[in-house]
Amino acid sequence: MMNRIAAARITGAALLSIGLAATVSVPAAAASAPVSVDTSTNGVVISPDVASALQRDLGLSPARAMVTFAQQNRADVQVATLRTVLGPIFAGSWFDAAAGEAVVAVTDVTALARVRAAGVEARVVTRTDAQLTAVADGLRQKQVPAGVVGWYVDLPTDQVVVQILDRSPATEAFLATAGAAVRAQAVTERPKPLYAVRGGDAWYGSNFRCSVGFSATDAAGGKHFVTAGHCTAGGGTASGYNQVSLGRINGSHFGSGGDYGKVDVTSGQWTLSGTVASGGGAVAVKGSAEAAVGAAVCRSGSTTGWHCGTIQAKNQTVVYQQGTVTGLTRTNVCAEPGDSGGAWISGNQAQGVTSGGSGDCTHGGTTYFSP
């Protein structure tokens, strides 16, 4: 098993962590004071290909997309402050794209006024995000029947959603023992890994094609790129989109905690780039600030190029036929075979690499990425 390369720790020509442009100060004793935040987009520049995908998939014009990214940035700053101010009664948050604002869940009704005074919508819930995560983690300890294809924490409904293909006795028994925090959601397809050095470009193993995620330089100066773990599971050599040797596959994880792999770039013919492929150009990646549930997100893959959508849930467990993978992020973005391992961004912030999904880019679908 490889040591995971965390985006916030990647250095050199890869993902550079950056601070937010503004700070927010809301002491507990003055929580009714307005929150002052920066409404910039942290230097986001939308390339023509990404602009086209945002317009096609989310109905966002370039101007509207810039407003959305500014709203998401503002919401991230507000939520980070309120998480500290509220302490144990903070129960989670998400981004309301229609309203352009953060929503913060709390377990104490007396906190509603404080949250709203900070310019953030508030909801009272019964369970915290930590409690819901514990419920989801508990499901992994059970025998999962064939009719269950995954589950995720759904903060807006304060529940854990279990996705099912059928209502067989085994599925019903699984649901019956899951507890009151769980509800079932019928789905029609089982997700699958999307088999088929800029993020989104193709790379090849012995008999398959996947997509590059993000390039990375380790502390010793070694060059690598991250991709999907199910792509790197067999080891061996790797070649680039032009069939020129890159180096060797040197790490794979597919299971608890995600779907991620590493390829060592040892050939002197390749130079690492901190960008994501965008047709004839490239999109610069500036950091790795995590986008919220409800935020706009885009991905690039070697089969279908750029497609965009929204983050629907985090900490998703997916029961692939090849094995169960935890810790994924669920989106309504489409993808197809060969897009696996490709890069995900929100604005100019790296989010993760494509794992798998269901559907396609003709009819739409659900895709999961490993953060």
- Which amino acids are annotated catalytic? 230, 259, 340
Residue 206 φ then ψ, to 5°: -65, -35
Kindly tell me the burial class for residue 311, based on how many C-beta atoms sit within 10 Å of its own C-beta (0-12, 13-18, 19 or more).
buried
Beta carbons within 8 Å of 319's beta carbon, 6+ residues apart: 144, 148, 149, 150, 190
- Distance between CA 29 and CA 341 in Å, rounded? 46
